[in-house]
């Protein structure tokens, strides 16, 4: 065997080993990049799902607050004018107003679980104001102000979460 043959075989073997090693390294780099990309994709999907859930809770909370105010207003309009007098529909409206208040209070509780502290505080205030509106006849302007404060805080939070700024 001459040295030229040995050298060419050795060089061919070295190049083959280097090629295999290069392929292994490239596969490892591609695998790491794919893993990182998958993590980013999953993180983005989790964020979208969280934002969609917040939108659902926020929308439900405002709708429940509005329904409670409307039911209480309807019940007030159907109250008897004199003690002992019966007014058609009053009992039904009273039950509907109480049911709507309970649903709104539950919605405010759910809101407190998912919202930032500032909004949780507004939701607590809204629940208390709704109860006072139903029980004590808190004036319409006060409950409207409470709703507006909560609504704008919810919108600002969703805009921040979506990356649009407040």
What total number of domains does the chain contain? 1
Residue 162 has pLDDT above 60, yes or no: no
| pLDDT of amino acid 83 | 80
59-85: buried (b, 16+ CB within 10 Å) or exposed (e) per residue? ebbbebbebbbebbebbbeeeeeeeee
Which token pair is 80? 């008897």
Q: Let me know if residue 39 belongs to a domain.
A: no
Q: Let me know if residue 144 belongs to a domain.
A: yes
Q: What domain range includes position 90?
A: 50-161
Q: Let me know if residue 3 belongs to a domain.
A: no
% the chain with pLDDT above 70: 79
Residue 99 has pLDDT above 60, yes or no: yes
| pLDDT of amino acid 6 | 64
In angstroms, rounded to a whole number, what is the distance separating the alpha carbons of residues 116 and 54? 11
In angstroms, rounded to a whole number, what is the distance separating the alpha carbons of residues 147 and 62? 8
Q: For 102-143, write each residue's pLDDT tens digit.
A: 999 999 999 999 999 999 999 999 999 999 999 888 888 999
Domain with 95 in it: what CATH number?
1.20.120
Q: Let me know if residue 120 belongs to a domain.
A: yes
């Amino acid at each position: 065997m001459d040295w030229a043959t040995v050298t060419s075989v050795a060089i061919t073997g070295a190049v083959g080993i280097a090629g295999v090693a290069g392929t292994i390294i490239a596969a490892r780099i591609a695998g790491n990049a794919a893993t990182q990309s998958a993590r980013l994709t999953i993180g983005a999907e989790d964020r979208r799902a969280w934002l969609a859930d917040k939108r659902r809770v926020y929308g439900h909370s405002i709708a429940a607050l509005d329904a409670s105010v409307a039911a209480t207003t309807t019940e007030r309009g159907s109250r008897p004018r004199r003690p002992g007098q019966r007014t058609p529909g009053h009992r039904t409206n009273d039950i509907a107003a109480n049911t709507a208040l309970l649903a709104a209070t539950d919605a405010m509780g759910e809101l407190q679980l998912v919202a930032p502290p500032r909004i949780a505080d507004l939701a607590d205030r809204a629940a208390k104001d709704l109860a006072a509106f139903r029980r004590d006849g808190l004036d319409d302007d006060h409950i409207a102000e409470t709703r507006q404060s909560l609504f704008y805080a919810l919108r600002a939070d969703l805009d921040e979460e979506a990356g649009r700024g407040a």
